[in-house]
Amino acid sequence: MNNEPASRRGPGRAGAPGLRAAPGLRAAPGLRAAPGLRAAPGLRAPGLRTAPGLPAAVLTATLGLAAACWVISARLMTGMDMGVATRLGSSGFFIALWVAMMAAMMLPGAAPAVARATEVAGVRAVPLFAGSYLAVWAVAGAVVLAAYRPHGTAVAGAVTIAAGAYEFTPVKRYFRRRCRENAGSGFGFGLYCTGSSAGLMAMLVVLGLMSLGWMAVIAVVVTAQKLLPARGALDVPVALAVVALGVLILADPWLVPGLTPPM
């Protein structure tokens, strides 16, 4: 039996099983963990947040990217706007242009969601969130490329009326509401926002896909719908104006500037 006093035991020996330190005892003052020791990677203290100002910096960068894409889109579209007779060019050219257009039009309204993703998952999540969001719009561009043909003013008028009617539907309200909520991923956010803007984007396609003017008008409406809550006092007049534009196109397309190519 070992009767050696505990005070003379060598360093590193454990006490008898079940024995605990006396209540109130603390480690000797000044003792610290061995230098170089760190917490296991990936562990964070509860409530830890990103550095103050980081979401604002991401927001600024997102808007700067959108501004640069406006410049790129304007240059690529130069001389291509022929209204309802517009041609898209080669597949590669159109997809590149479409992605630039969507970044220019959609990123301003998506910037708050990108900033929220930064707060939740850090700055490393930004490229994945924004990239997957734009990837959804790229798929929509592939659909446009496959379906688009130069068309007449009757098609433009009918699609514009349908786009205005879509603004009144429960489907539109559902997608718009989900597009304004916190999104778990850029892919899901892109799906909801594509559904919300489907009618307005169809209107852009038939009125002048290479028109910088129509692109700007649609971008303003889309951004406002992403950032502002639904209000009948604003939304109903906008939807009625879209329907009225479609009726005007059917009645007298020459009154709509740029809709028909010059003779």
Kindly give, in sequence order, each residue whose CB lies less than 8 Å from that of residue 198, ignoring residues fewer than 6 positions away. Answer: 166, 175
Whether 27 maps to a domain, the answer reads no
Residue type at 8 in one-letter notation: R
Whether 158 maps to a domain, the answer reads yes
- Contact present, 94 and 141 (Cβ < 8 Å): yes
Dmax (CA) for the chain in angstroms is 112
How many CA atoms within 13 Å lie on the side-chain side of 140? 23
Whether 232 maps to a domain, the answer reads yes
How many other CB atoms sit within 10 Å of the CB of residue 29? 5
- Contact present, 174 and 113 (Cβ < 8 Å): no
Sign of CA dihedral 139, 75, 126, 202: negative
Burial of 106 (0-12, 13-18, 19+ CB in 10 A): buried
Query: pLDDT of the chain along its 263 residues, tens only?
Result: 444 444 444 444 444 444 444 444 444 444 443 344 343 333 333 333 545 566 788 888 889 999 999 999 999 999 999 999 999 999 999 999 999 999 999 999 998 888 888 877 777 888 888 999 999 999 999 999 999 999 999 999 999 999 999 999 999 999 999 888 766 788 999 999 999 999 999 999 999 999 999 999 999 999 999 998 888 888 999 999 999 999 999 999 999 988 987 66
Whether 153 maps to a domain, the answer reads yes
- Boundaries of domain holding 84: 54-255
Instruction: Please tell me the distance from the alpha carbon of residue 146 to that of residue 95, in angstroms, as a whole number.
Output: 11
Whether 216 maps to a domain, the answer reads yes
User: Which helix (H) or strand (E) is 18 found in, with range?
Assistant: none
SS3 state at 243: helix
Domain tally for the chain?
A: 1
User: Which helix (H) or strand (E) is 247 found in, with range?
Assistant: helix 232-251
pTM of this structure: 0.76
Tokens coding 121: 């998952």
Whether 43 maps to a domain, the answer reads no
